[in-house]
Structure 1
Amino acid sequence: MLKSFILDDETHAIDLLTDYIGRTPDIELIGADTNPLNALRKITELAPDILFLDIDMPEISGLEFMKLLGTKIHIVFTTGHTEYAIEGYNRDIADYLLKPISYSRFNTCCERLIQKIAYAGKKGDGTKTFFYIQGDNKAKMIKINMDELFYVQSLNNYVIIYHQSDKLITYLTMKEVEQFLPSDRFSRIHKSYLVNDSKIKTIESGHVILHSQPVTALPIGLKYREQFFSKIRKVTLKRGDVDR
């Protein structure tokens, strides 16, 4: 699942793209803002894969905002002015969407991006299936298979990794763990919890119930509820989804 962020000074433009992203497989929205400075801070913290960036903003243009980004990100310009198209492509942006944006054009843009990013990933190390954490001493490294990881709990300046029937404590932040684990397989559901999607048994009464012994029920925080359920809706089979 690719993570996206929207920066646009018009709230109705953000609402439209939010709706489009919710209807598009393999892309999730992790944040949006009308203020460039707030957006810069959030983008630095959240590290999205894709930024839908308005060019014509009153405080700072999208072209100027690009220069502030220190992270590698796929930028899609959104604007009502065609004259910015050439300038955008000269700066090696991923795509250019002319307002008013149709869903058909938006979906085509996303399909191209998904293929481009997937191809770039295949040229790298491939999909991670395991990782190591430091043990009780610096000379000890512990291997963790991602398929065997149930959930991660944050406690102050360290995290607890619940792995099969064991639990491991390591001095990492939840932010570091969340950015490392693939977002298409793991979900942040609470400020203190990150879960392995494949270990979810049911979702009920504001909690995620895991396939574990004993049964574990983790709360879904209000801050993470919308993003989590948006992800779940994309893989939910409902009556009427299949043509008869």
Structure 2
Amino acid sequence: MNTNEIITIIVDDEQSCLKSLESDLSRFPEIRVVATCTSPDNAAREIVRLQPDLLFIDVEMPGMSGLELLSRIQSDIHSDMRIVFYTAYDKYLLDAIRASAFDYLLKPYKLNELDALIARYRFHIAQSDKVNIEQSLRRMLLCNTKLAVQTISGLVLVKCEDILLFLYLKEQRCWQMMLVPDRKLYKLRMSTTAKDLLGINSSFVQINQDCIVNLNYLCTIENVTLKCGLYPPFTDIDLTVSQRYYRRLREVLDIL
């Protein structure tokens, strides 16, 4: 998984415009267009499912405007998603500003306009995401204070000891946080990486490619199978350490 990827979706009912923008975005190695949609209904499903970092959305579409589409799914998308309204009509500029758009791209755009837009996005990420994930999370959890974790559905207030483990969902390409005591699950932003999670606190260790566990709940590791046992009431959760991560795990454990 490329941690620098900018997950992107394009929504435009005009196939030629959609393909043109997709082609122009391919010039940026960090941008990964994961879906292109020509209908608002399909777009709504894909945006909620994939939770992109960057969304290009046409304003005028048959049946539902881009503004109406965003209003419909607003409660189901993460707050860090950056919206670029993409249209041939500048009359929607004020509405785009009111909808907290990140930028506004008029058709037909020039390549230098698209270049400037992506440069602004890169600068925005450099100034905000790094602080939010790598600094704020670590500082607040180490101080044993509650942290507001940004999930795709909203903010969740937790302490380090509230987190049992993180599981990576391959199909949805995002990490999921499991809390104690009720095992409630929360999907995290797609931009959140294993490195980010491991940096929160030294109690979190990665036991395989798709699982990071809180050491405070890890009870046993079998010699041959490397199966893990968690403390009650979590003994029914089936976890196994991979050979690759077992070597690293032994380095952080005090073994008698």
TM class by shorter chain equals 0.5 to 0.7
What is the 5 A alignment of 1:48-87? 48-67=52-71, 68-69=73-74, 70-71=76-77, 72=79, 73-87=81-95
Distance 1:3 1:163, change over 3 A: farther
Give yes or no for the alignment of 1:128 onto 2:220: no
Checking the alignment, whether the CA contact within 8 Å between 1:55 and 1:62 is kept in structure 2 is: yes
Instruction: Tell me the SS of whatever aligns to 1:51.
Output: strand
Identity %: 28
Give yes or no for the alignment of 1:42 onto 2:43: no
What is the 5 A alignment of 1:188-199? none
Checking the alignment, whether the CA contact within 8 Å between 1:134 and 1:141 is kept in structure 2 is: no
What is the 5 A alignment of 1:139-218? 139-140=217-218, 162=242, 164=244, 166=246
User: How many Å apart are 1:47 and its aligned residue?
Assistant: 1.2
Question: Structure 1 unaligned runs (5+)?
Answer: 143-157, 168-244
Give yes or no for the alignment of 1:93 onto 2:101: yes
Partners of 2:25 and 2:14 in 1: CA distance: 17
Larger Rg: 2
Structural RMSD (CA): 2.9
Question: Structure 2 unaligned runs (5+)?
Answer: 135-194, 199-203, 206-211, 221-237, 248-256
Match of 2:125 in 1: 117
- TM-score normalised over the length of structure 1: 0.55
What amino acid is aligned across from residue 128 of structure 1 in structure 2?
D
Partners of 1:119 and 1:141 in 2: CA distance: 40
Deviations 1:29-71 (A, max 9, x none): 1111101111111111111001000001011001111112321
- TM-score normalised over the length of structure 2: 0.53
Partners of 2:11 and 2:39 in 1: CA distance: 7
Distance 1:20 1:166, change over 3 A: same
Distance 1:160 1:96, change over 3 A: farther
User: How many Å apart are 1:77 and its aligned residue?
Assistant: 0.3
